[in-house]
Amino acid sequence: MSFVILFLISTLDLKKSNIMKTIYQQIMESCPENYIGHHESDLYIKANDTTTAIIKAYKVENTVNVTTFHNTETKELCYDVAFSYDPFWDKIKTK
């Protein structure tokens, strides 16, 4: 019984910690760096099972505009997450 309680508590802590992270941070922790691209503040992410799960969970907790497109070079399906490329905003903050 105590194992189940500890598991539930740690699961809740994990969910809470992911809610506090940006989608960029979650993707960077879960995927190779070559899965990420950007234009200005928009974040581009290659679609796969992991990134799809992150996108779905993030959309439940946050209002975020996510669209899909096919990469013109690789033909891979990708997500375009508006205003979510953190380094762009970090650079703006330091100016």
**How far is Cα 64 from Cα 84, in angstroms, rounded to an integer?**
9
Task: Evaluate whether 80 touches 89 at the Cβ level (below 8 Å).
Answer: no
Which tens digit of pLDDT belongs to each residue from 40-70? 999 999 999 999 999 998 877 777 789 999 9
What is the per-residue pLDDT for 62? Answer: 72
Which tens digit of pLDDT belongs to each residue from 12-44? 444 455 557 899 999 999 999 899 999 999 999
pTM, full prediction: 0.74
Q: Where are the domains of the chain?
A: 2-94
Chain position carrying tokens 């993707």 = 27
Query: 6: which strand partners?
Result: none
